[in-house]
């Protein structure tokens, strides 16, 4: 398994508070069946600024520690980029921002309260640059909770979506859990990721969520989600089905 959204890098954000905890998180991930983790520390979310150069350094340090301690998990560099005004300019300049393991896929965090009016324009411009935006945990966005049609518009225009594994298991409450399952059933979701921050309250737990997905939606969905995560790591295209709203017909496309 590949986990495309993690906060495993030590001492950069509200994730792993130390190298020791980061190594323990990787051990837990290995026991889950995870072999690759994309580190996505918060960037420009109002609290943390983690630029590319620093992320590469800490990623290398963590991988060295994992190798020395015999933990067969590889950590790759990325970011969880919160939407901010100069994001597109910073991307074009190419100094501070990271995609997921140098792929065309970039993890974008929306504000928790709404979908900014500038979101469609930003995603359009990123697509023109050859990038594919992945929306992190839309099931926890207040505006999506009120109207999933707003998210459908973004997906139809080329955005992908990642649900947090523990949203499906109820860690964020019944309302978020209900929406997360609804989004999975209606083809809004293309990735399952742990969004892990620590070893206890938010561990790298993918196996339990995949098991539940298999039981509820079928093993084909599990395999598709796993394949999509692997394809991000390899910078391969992803087959996307159009979100289902009011019985609309699926349409296949590739990003």
Q: What is the Cα–Cα distance from 73 to 67, expressed in whole angstroms?
A: 8
Residue 80 has which token pair? 């969880």
Mean pLDDT (the chain) is: 94
Given a cut of 60, whether residue 247 has pLDDT beyond it is no
Given a cut of 70, whether residue 249 has pLDDT beyond it is no
The residue with tokens 């963590």 is 62
Please give the span between the terminal C-alpha atoms of the chain, in angstroms, as a whole number.
Answer: 21
pLDDT digits (tens, 9 = 90+) for 23-62: 999 999 999 999 999 999 999 999 999 999 999 999 999 9
Neighbour-count burial of 48, counting CB atoms closer than 10 A to its CB (0-12 exposed, 13-18 middle, 19+ buried):
middle
pLDDT digits (tens, 9 = 90+) for 72-123: 999 999 999 999 999 999 999 999 999 999 999 999 999 999 999 999 999 9
Q: What is the Cα–Cα distance from 100 to 52, expressed in whole angstroms?
A: 11
- CB-side neighbour CA atoms (13 Å) of 93: 10
Single out the residue of 28, 26, 16 nearest to residue 75, CA to CA.
Answer: 26
pLDDT digits (tens, 9 = 90+) for 135-168: 999 999 999 999 999 999 999 999 999 999 999 9
The pLDDT, as a whole number, for residue 246 is 57
What's the whole-model pTM score? 0.94
Which residue segments constitute the domains of the chain, with CATH numbers given? 2-254 (3.20.20.140)
């Amino acid at each position: 398994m590949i986990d495309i959204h993690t906060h495993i890098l030590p001492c950069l954000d509200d994730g792993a508070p130390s190298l020791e905890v980061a190594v323990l998180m990787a051990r837990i991930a290995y026991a889950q069946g995870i072999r690759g983790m994309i580190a996505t520390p918060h960037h420009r979310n109002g609290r943390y600024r983690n630029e590319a150069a620093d992320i590469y350094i800490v990623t290398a340090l963590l991988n060295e520690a994992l190798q020395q301690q015999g933990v067969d998990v590889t950590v790759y560099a990325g970011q969880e980029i919160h939407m901010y005004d100069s994001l597109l300019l910073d991307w074009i300049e190419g100094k501070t921002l990271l995609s997921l393991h140098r792929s065309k896929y970039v993890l974008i965090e929306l504000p928790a309260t709404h979908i900014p009016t500038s979101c469609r324009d930003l995603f359009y411009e990123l697509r023109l640059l050859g990038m594919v935006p992945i929306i992190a945990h839309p099931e926890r966005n207040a505006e999506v909770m009120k109207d999933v049609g707003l998210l459908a518009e973004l997906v139809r225009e080329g955005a992908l979506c990642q649900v947090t594994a523990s949203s499906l298991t109820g860690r964020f409450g019944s309302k978020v859990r209900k929406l997360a399952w609804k989004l999975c059933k209606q083809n809004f979701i293309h990735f399952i990721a742990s969004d892990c921050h620590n070893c206890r309250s938010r561990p790298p737990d993918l196996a339990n969520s995949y098991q539940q997905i298999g039981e509820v939606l079928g093993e084909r969905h599990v395999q598709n989600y796993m394949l999509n995560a692997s394809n991000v790591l390899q910078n391969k295209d992803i087959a996307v089905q159009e979100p289902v709203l009011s019985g609309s017909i699926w349409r296949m496309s590739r990003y």
